[in-house]
Amino acid sequence: MNEEIFNKIMNTSFSSSIITHCRLKYYSKIAETTEDHISRIGLGLSLSAGSIDFDWKPSALGNIDVPITVDSGKSIRAKTLFKEDLLIFIALANKYQTIESYEEYRSGFRAHWERGIQLITEKSNGSSEWITIMESISK
């Protein structure tokens, strides 16, 4: 990883779909924490699930999904999402696939972020109890 790519990643922002933003709002409310914390949990969950297509998009999950409550996607700065841990996230991203360019990292991290939030939703099985949801994603 060269320093130029690292700096470009840290100075970028990611934008989600509307459905991901709704899920983030819902989970941050029931967990009584910020959407940024939920985003980091989702990102880590997706990275641990393996490789991803860089154009991955979330989908509706029927009766276990959260209600649509916003009309725009979520924007999050890389500095907020990664904090001081970008090198750890880069290592995790490269564990299952080779990522070489800034564009691949940017697309990959956005896809992992959204997939992670979808995985939380799938594993929650419709629960609105944060402790139960955390227990379900740890399995």
Per-residue pLDDT for the chain (139 aa), expressed as one digit of tens each? 689 999 999 999 999 999 999 999 999 999 999 999 999 999 999 999 999 999 999 999 998 999 899 999 999 999 999 999 999 999 999 999 999 899 999 999 999 999 999 999 999 999 999 999 999 998 7
Say how many C-beta atoms besides its own lie within 10 A of residue 59's C-beta: 10
Q: pTM to 2 decimals?
A: 0.95
Residue with tokens 């904090």: 83
Q: Which domains does the chain show, CATH number per domain? A: 3-53+67-137 (1.10.1220.160)
The tokens describing 23, both together, are 């899920």
Three state DSSP letters for 63-127: HHCCCCCCCCCCEEEHHHHHCCCHHHHHHHHHHHCCCCCHHHHHHHHHHHHHHHHHHHHHHHCCC
